[in-house]
Structure 1
Amino acid sequence: MRTFIDVLRDNTIHGDRAVTFVRTNGQERRVVYPELWAEASRRARALQALGLSKGDRVALILPEPDEFVLSFVGALTAGLVAVPMYPPATLAKLEAYGDTVRHVLAASGARVVVTNDALRPLIQEHLLGSQSADTRLVLERELGAIDPGSAHTTLPDVRGEDLAFLQFTSGSTSRPKGVMVTHENLSVNSHAIMFDGLRSTPEDRGVSWLPLYHDMGLIGFVIAPVYALVQVMFLPTMSFIRRPSLWLDSIHRFRGTITFAPNFAFALATRAVTETQAGGWDLSCMRALGCGAEPIQADVLRAFLDRFAKNGLSPESILPCYGMAEATLAVTFHDLGKPLTTDRIDLATMKNGKAAPAQDDAPSMELVSCGRAFPGHEIRIVGPDGAPLGERQVGEIWLRGPSVTAGYFGDAEATAESFGDGYLHTGDLGYRADGNVYICGRSKDLIILNGKNHYPQDIERVASTVDGIRDGQCVAFARRSTSGAEEAVLVAESRRLGEAKRALVEAVTHAVRAELGVQLAEVVLIKRGTLPKTSSGKVRRRETKMRLENGQLDLVGEPSDDASAPFDSSAVPSPRAPARETETRGAL
């Protein structure tokens, strides 16, 4: 099987194929396949000229898509191990960002950090710290200034077993660990994505605003498409966040057929795109609308499909997925071209580990099918003893196959824990129904009250329906009470700082108790934008719990009304219609 480097080299015969980069200032840069290989080779030799040898690690902190992609392919062409890192979005929270930078550099042993002129002072003066003595800072533009005498320097032979890059996990449950992704992993998973999952042809076109320092954007749109000769347009991530219409407008202009995004992006586009912006769009070209990387709400996907149906968007284009960094990227895909498949299950039986179909009048939740494993890969649902479970029994998901990566760089203990018994122990909870995989949550996040299992995602989902709580901006977890029993706690961002705290807390408590039968011991309201999250936007439950215990959360102030006044039940906001959700974790 050809490596990514082989494919880049072989694709030089396709001068009509290209990747298109849209920079933050709106300028477009089109790089045809022959130029892509020439730039990869040029940058590879420039990195060699710095004294780097095959297997050395090189970190990339580059905000512009063309800067990142061209430097990344140059590093891999030189046989180096790339370490993608997210750039600082703002000057806020620099201390936490600096801690992450220093941790990743130390854990990876990166000898060089490639960045641009704008970020160099910030990184050198404020982020590297004592690490700067061991790490060389190199400007991206310098990689193009090669000594002509080195133009014929021999490039190393890159084999399938060689490391390609370290994908540092987002750290939602622990400090980031570097997943070791080999060139064979990339080749196998790219084929699974493009041919088994997407059934791609060279007529396809990809559009992506996804961050390139995470695997869904990096593998899904930089690496995998070149195997199928699929041309891709890259948009700046922050440009999409500021103007969500950019995503769908680019699909219309570029005639995109493949795109992927997390659940929040579908909700954001449905809410923020105006009729004027969408008026002239033709989205009938879109055939694979992938969704993953965070909990998926069926209602959000249905609302998105309904909102843009008049623009020609097909309901059969929706493609829920499941994956994670430890499996390179993709694990399962929904069957392409089939409508959204969901399963409404009984909440009472779920608490006992059984996903029984709900009766009409029973409390229920709706989960989205994430499809089946790719050919050559095996999924098991197992109990606490590792024994396989039957249909509709909830257990931990184990995975085996050539997409499973080599473990965590420099962390033998964590590797043995997660990659034992010939399977990747994902830590995700799920079940099978009619051959499809449904994801329920994380095993370590379970809240067990009076012997019953409760998923924090369910509590968070219901809390988000209460008017005054920011949608999706809340965290539920368990803690020990003074009596030693486990109790449930919710931390949530308030949408309006002037909200009467007691009324809002009562509304959340009532909504969760009414729908789930869970009594919250405490509801803590914090200020907008202060919930701890990973670089990919996932909530950090354990860090939130620790900050609450240490008094480090930025709490909402007391309401302006008289705190001594008796509670007025009429002030309780009414819950909005409850959303239904599933969760897909990790990379996809």
Structure 2
Amino acid sequence: MTDAATLESQAEQALVPTPNEDDLPRRLSNFATFGDALDYAARGKRGLNFHDPRGTLKRVYPYSELREDALGMARRLIAHGIRKGDRVALIAETGPEFAALFCGCVYAGAWPVPLPLPTSFGGKDAYVDQLAVQLASSDPKVLFYPEEIAGLSHPAAERQGCEGMSFQDLAARPAPDCDLPQADPDDISYLQYSSGSTRFPHGVAVTHASLLNNLAGHGEGMKLIESDRCVSWLPWYHDMGLVGCFLSPIANQVSADYLKTEDFARRPLAWLDMVSRNPGTTLSYSPTFGYDICARRISSQSNVTERFDLSRWRIAGNGADMIRPDVMQGFVNAFAPAGFKASAFLPSYGLAEATLSVTIMPPGEGIRVELVEEERLSGTARDLSRPARYRAIVNCGKAVKDMELAILDGNGKALGDHQIGKVWCRGPSVMVGYFRDPEATEACMVPGDDGKGAWLDTGDMGYMVDGYLFIVGRAKDMIIINGKNHWPQDIEWAVEQLPGFNHGDIAAFSVETDSGEESVAVLVHCRVSDPEERQRLHDTIRDKVRSILGHPAIVELVPPRTLPRTSSGKLSRAKAKKQYLSGEIEPIKLAA
């Protein structure tokens, strides 16, 4: 008699992922609404594929099945009283339940609002607080969540006064026939909260027309081919994961394989295993830290040629944070023996306020850098008494379809090539504004005087060269001490070069001292337990930072995993500063 485990194993072996190639002619997101895009994708054989923590295929979900489930969810939502224009908050777990409910909201004319899953840091209260703040901003009728985190999600819904319900409870309800509302291209398709929007959240309102225009730019910029397949571990509550790796595959008819973000964090090399198993060509994006983690997990004794085949990885996208050329080179060094090509790297730049993509590097050009003097980056005069220091600035590519770029100085004057200023963009995929926040919208959007739409202040500093964009850093992150400008990442990256540190172990920001003067504070994860070794480490870091700044700084060692991150995994300097000043981050006491 066959036992249950054997039957389950046989069922897993019988799973066949959705194909790369299909007879359905590919349309690069040229649809009026996202519902139209899913309707078209459902006519083919491609779809979504979900994998377990080891990268084993667990669920095949063709777009035809997704559409059927989404229409059922739309009818359930309408029967539950959801109307066109209502907000529906969804905890964005990577899986078929969220996918069906997100698309169901779109069919029902409601605005899905993807919100983050709980993370390993911060604790229950911090997560409930974050959800409650974002619920207060989006004002949804219902919050839907995975049943297993009801104890975390439901209290946030109760605090805000909205209904809370699990995905499973909604799916068990009847789906009576009804007329679905007609969508218009200028209707809002969803609300997107940026990764840092916790205390003062800004819901980015994205129309169908904006979404589809950006997804078309995405598909055209990557020069999609028939054999392409998306492989992703990125969270669906962040714009790069939601738009780039969930909505884009649907609108551009690409099959996709998913590893949950938390599973990637535990077993990052499962990501590369999935890339290796793809018989076609792979499209896969990651912030810098994802490549860094994988390179660090490979020891010198590992035989990467036996485990991985990365020769068909056509586009290895980089985005969501500052791109580190040294980290990318480390990844190439580790995985070139497995067939990975440096030319596969595809740097890009984007933000939720532009739906996603602003610039994409032309495929095949890889990572190109310029060495720029730090004085020019900070806009200060060169100190001839000190040796010149340089930072490698990564080329983030050219503007996507229909997007315009401008580099402006502090007075709004357009700057020429190689001149650093504020990065502005405009195009059909730029948001219509922040939800119910006209003041914040007005602060970052300026109507054009030529009738071509509003310009968006991205908040980033950069420069152009021959149509390519180079990003220098976030304007708000710049540290100004005694009239001299410093970029925090220059300090952080320099300290990371010391032995024993990982990407994201250091946070630098300005603080006001007891005397009322501004100073630089540098918080550093410390994994050393011996008191004398800690003191030596502190002194080494102090000397390193002083060599960069030209003056002393406050250096604090803090326990590992103390520095906060945004929902996309980026270091949150603003939150680190707030927690440090409030005493929530307690530095390690050094020996007297």
Query: TM-score scaled to structure 1, two decimals?
Result: 0.88
- Are 1:233 and 2:233 counterparts? no
Gap runs ≥5 in structure 1: 356-360, 564-588
Give the letter aligned to residue 522 of structure 1.
Answer: I
Partner of 2:4: none
How many residues in Structure 1 have an aligned counterpart in Structure 2? 547
Instruction: Choose from 307, 310, 333 the match for 2:337.
Output: 310
Corresponding residue for 1:376?
Answer: 402
What SS is found at the alignment partner of 2:113?
strand
CA contact (8 A) 1:21 1:29 kept: yes
Kept in 2: contact 1:172–1:533 (CA 8 A): no
Unaligned runs of 5+ in 2: 1-30, 448-453
User: Using the alignment, how far apart are the partners of 1:453 and 1:340 within structure 2?
Assistant: 27
Q: Does 1:242 align with 2:266?
A: yes
Structure 1 CA distance, aligned partners of 2:121 and 2:559? 19
SS of the aligned residue for 2:243 comes to helix
- Of stretches 24-33 and 312-321 in structure 1, the one that deviates more from structure 2 is 24-33
Between the aligned partners of 2:128 and 2:204, the Cα distance in structure 1 is 21
Range that drifts further, 289-298 or 338-347: 338-347
Question: Aligned in 2, Cα 1:354/1:178: closer, same or farther, shift over 3 Å?
Answer: farther
1:18 Cα deviation (Å)?
Answer: 2.0
Map 1:101-500; keep pairs closer than 5 Å: 101-124=131-154, 126-131=155-160, 134-147=161-174, 150=176, 152-171=177-196, 175-195=200-220, 197-255=221-279, 256-273=281-298, 275-276=302-303, 279-352=306-379, 362-421=388-447, 422-498=454-530, 500=533
Tell me the SS of whatever aligns to 1:423.
Answer: strand
- Indicate the residue corresponding to 1:569 in structure 2: none
Query: 1:298–1:366: 8 Å Cα contact kept in structure 2?
Result: yes
Taking only the aligned residue pairs, the percentage that are identical comes to 35
CA distance in 1, matches of 2:306, 2:233: 22
Structure 1 range deviating more: 52-61 or 302-311: 302-311
Go from structure 1 to structure 2 and tell me whether the alpha carbon gap of 1:184 and 1:100 turns closer, same or farther (over 3 Å shift).
Answer: same
Give the CA deviation at 1:453: 1.6
1:183 Cα offset (Å): 1.0
TM-score where L is the length of structure 2: 0.88
Match of 1:509 in 2: 542
Take 2:92 and 2:398, find their aligned partners in 1: how far apart are those partners?
A: 35
Q: Give the Cα separation in 1 of the matches to 2:542 and 2:121.
A: 36
The Cα RMSD (Å) is 2.1
The whole-number CA distance in structure 2 between the counterparts of 1:353 and 1:458 is 15
Instruction: Give yes or no for contact 2:87–2:110 (8 Å, CA) kept in 1.
Output: yes
State the secondary structure of the residue aligned to 2:275.
helix
User: CA separation of 1:310/1:18 partners in 2, compared to 1, >3 Å: closer, same or farther?
Assistant: same
Q: Distance between the aligned counterparts of 1:497 and 1:130, measured in 2?
A: 42
Distance 1:354 1:341, change over 3 A: farther
Distance 1:468 1:270 in 2: 15
Distance (Å, rounded) in 1 between the aligned partners of 2:122 and 2:466:
48
Structure 1 distance, partners of 2:328, 2:488, is: 21
For 1:558 and 1:482, locate their aligned partners in 2 and report how far apart those are by CA, in whole Å.
21
Paired residues of 2:342 and 2:366 also in contact (CA < 8 A): yes
SS of the residue corresponding to residue 157 of structure 1 reads coil
CA deviation map 1:17-51 (0-9, x unaligned): 22111245855111122212111101111111111
Q: What SS does structure 2 have at the residue aligned with 1:370?
A: strand
Q: 1:470 to 1:518 in 2, by over 3 A?
A: farther
Q: Find the counterpart in structure 2 of residue 98 from structure 1.
A: 128
Matching residue's letter, 1:342: V
CA contact (8 A) 1:392 1:432 kept: yes
Greater mean deviation of Cα atoms: 57-66 or 289-298: 57-66
Deviations 1:37-79 (A, max 9, x none): 1111011111111110011111111534222212211111111
Q: How has the CA–CA distance of structure 1 residues 123 and 454 changed in structure 2, closer, same or farther, with 3 Å as cutoff?
A: same
Tell me if the contact between 1:408 and 1:414 (Cα under 8 Å) persists in the aligned partners: yes
Indicate if the aligned counterparts of 2:143 and 2:157 stay in contact, CA closer than 8 A: no
Residues 289 and 503 in structure 2, CA contact (< 8 A), matched pair in contact too: no
Residues of 2 paired with 1:72 and 1:354: CA distance? 52
Q: Structure 1 residues 489 and 44, CA, compared in 2 at 3 Å: closer, same or farther?
A: same
8 A contact 1:475–1:492 mirrored in 2: yes
Structure 1 stretches of at least 4 aligned residues deviating more than 6 Å after TM superposition: none
